[in-house]
Chain A
Amino acid sequence: QVQLQESGPGLVKPSGTLSLTCAVSGGSISSSNWWSWVRQPPGKGLEWIGEIYHSGSTNYNPSLKSRVTISVDKSKNQFSLKLSSVTAADTAVYYCAKLTAPKVYWGQGTLVTVSS
């Protein structure tokens, strides 16, 4: 059973960079899967941010592409998200996930607030 756990600061200042890491356990990040980040602003819907393959190939949401970097660290079995130039609109619960069906796994989510 694959388990995902997000970690990172819960508070980021406006114009700063949001950085989160997702630790993968119970399976190898080098398996044939794409690893994704999804966010959900309070009271709103889900937004796909992007995904990475263990080779380092990435796909990003066009609306966020200029500010997003997703990377993978195979030695630590984890992948990471960086979102630059954040504003209050980036306040959300951030989830890491393996969305390749039918075995889909989500982290519990972590709330990141953008505020000074």
Chain B
Amino acid sequence: SYELTQPPSVSVSPGQTARITCSGDALPKKYAYWYQQKSGQAPVLVIYEDSKRPSGIPERFSGSSSGTMATLTISGAQVEDEADYYCYSTDSSGWRFGGGTKLTVL
């Protein structure tokens, strides 16, 4: 079955750039979406269609995709960005979430 692979954890200091990757065989043909989930809350969409930012999402969040890898970049990460991040995409058999990446900012 189709899988989206993310690193389990990423750690940065405040103000540094955090990069979270998502690998999937269908990503060259399908968009990647990125969700942020803080403890006890529903997920929030931070990037859609590889690189678009929904209204209200800070400019420090950006996305890119090349080949079989999509990347979420947080430029100048803030303490409040500490959360779990999930990529989300599709193939012919339906939608999938990646396993999630815990971002620590300290």
Q: Which B75-96 residues sit within 8 Å CB-CB of chain A?
A: 84, 86, 88, 93-96
A101 within 8 A of B: yes
A61 within 8 A of B: yes
Q: Which B46-104 residues sit within 8 Å CB-CB of chain A?
A: 48-49, 52, 54-55, 84, 86, 88, 93-100
- Return the contact of B97 from the options A46, A59, A106 (Cβ within 8 A): A46
Question: When chains A and B are docked, how far (Å) is the Cα of A61 from the Cα of B49?
Answer: 21
Nearest-CB residue, chain A, relative to B97: A46
Nearest-CB residue, chain A, relative to B93: A62
Q: Is the CB of B48 within 8 A of A102?
A: yes
Nearest-CB residue, chain B, relative to A60: B94
Given A45-B99, A108-B42 in contact, is the A101-B94 Cβ separation under 8 Å?
Answer: no
Nearest-CB residue, chain B, relative to A104: B45
Majority secondary structure, A binding face: loop
Question: When chains A and B are docked, how far (Å) is the Cα of A59 from the Cα of B92?
Answer: 10
Interface residues contributed by chain A, number (CB under 8 Å) = 22
Majority secondary structure, B binding face: strand
Nearest-CB residue, chain A, relative to B86: A46
A95 within 8 A of B: yes
A75 within 8 A of B: no
Question: When chains A and B are docked, how far (Å) is the Cα of A95 from the Cα of B88?
Answer: 15
B14 within 8 A of A: no
Question: When chains A and B are docked, how far (Å) is the Cα of A46 from the Cα of B101?
Answer: 11
Question: When chains A and B are docked, how far (Å) is the Cα of A36 from the Cα of B94?
Answer: 12
Report B24-57 CB contacts with A as 1/0, cut-off 8 Å.
0000000001010100001101001100101100
Known: A38-B97, A45-B86, A62-B94. 13 other contacts (CB 8 A): A45-B84, A45-B99, A45-B100, A46-B86, A46-B97, A46-B100, A48-B94, A59-B95, A101-B45, A101-B48, A101-B52, A102-B52, A102-B54
Q: List 20 A-B contacts (CB under 8 A).
A: A38-B97, A45-B86, A46-B37, A46-B43, A46-B86, A46-B97, A48-B94, A48-B96, A48-B97, A50-B94, A51-B95, A59-B95, A61-B95, A95-B42, A99-B88, A99-B95, A101-B33, A101-B45, A102-B45, A102-B54
